Structure 1
């Protein structure tokens, strides 16, 4: 029987914090408890914000935690051709299109609709769904933007994608926490069947003119390429699983077991983030924190 494969997939666009430590440790411990493998994926799609120095410092943090990840690590920047191939296959089937609206144009259109008393749908993260370009821009402006190679986003045509994928889209949600002694819980392999709702996200971005892929597209391709059997990640990505299951269906990729763990929250009640400049593991180490003190802070024995 093939052993389970878990992964921790951070982006080197900032320093790791306690939330990352929880996710990495849970994946490493789950791999150990199941006799599986633990991989690290470097999600460095954004070649501007992701730097070799930040990657090196991130791996230092993982080594400090004592995590036995396999080497060499997988870097997304070395696999852009895989994402391009997948995108081309979707394009050949008419399932994607180029959207030229800027963030400012989207914001103005949505504001105008809401001021007129018409509610505008928003995705599970609270962002307004993308309006069709033809509903916002005059035809001649769309022609000009396409001809001039203006900035664009390659978006999934959600209506067409759902028509191709069918209506019976689900995922299997499994427990994410181990037993107190580090072993498996009694219900570790007992899933809850979740009905996927990718339409809640609207026409999601799969790539941009200057970026060959997006998180949604690359994550499903990478999980298949790395043979990931168990996706154990934060609860903040629970709703996004609907989009990932749709892309897996469209690209004929296998469905892994999904496990979404609790989040580490700050004093203000929001989840920790690099963009929010939350205290990093490196800062905690400089303050004298040890691994045992970190484990206590994140609720692990």
Structure 2
């Protein structure tokens, strides 16, 4: 079931088209990574989904509700963790979360329980009476998350939630994303740290110049770009006959000798379909296989091939 759907969404200013007929979906229960180089239209897309900007054309639905026709229903279902901190330095941690909880209509015991629950979840309950001015950057980011989740939204949008924080806080936030997803929230996650998206996202969409140029799992993106894998056979024994037979296999692109003949590096389009064949060849020719390694294309290389730019390019 799809929780979020973009239908031919356009955003333009005068004659400049920032988002160009964007159509895609996000399934319920996904952690969906939204990537794009600077100026790709990512922030504008997030702003339209969260109701901060209105589409020039098209529509976005969340849980069946239209952002154009039923914006309040959409906003009730969303928790937004913006890139820029959205907390009040003159309020305590508890007062910050309480303020945002009241905006969502929470009152009485339910409000108090949800505030405590959110602070507990991000590990700040013991600092509930403290001012954010006494917090580290990572703690402020975690408070930002508490303010976005206390109403238990069906969709959580995390826009660069780990910018400028220490590794320990980053790991805490990534684990929080996984836990929120396990508890039932769908998550949209944007980041300039490719390794984060690679680690936690089940599906990925790549924007460039306002268009969605690719969308799918990492495996699906790899097939779309035609990127190849490498299998490294660490071997003992004579391999001349095996080398020739591997080269003749239709699924093998290239076979190269490495480490003075102690390794064979086999370039293939998709290892899962031919690995058993290659293992059979080594056994057939009496080669002792000490170790087998698989090198996949990483998300950075996929992104670079699709956009021609690094994610962090200005």
Fold-level match, TM-score > 0.5?
Answer: no
Greater Rg over alpha carbons, structure: 2
Higher relative contact order (CA 8 A, sep 6+): 1
Larger fraction in strand:
2
TM-score tier by shorter-chain length is: under 0.3
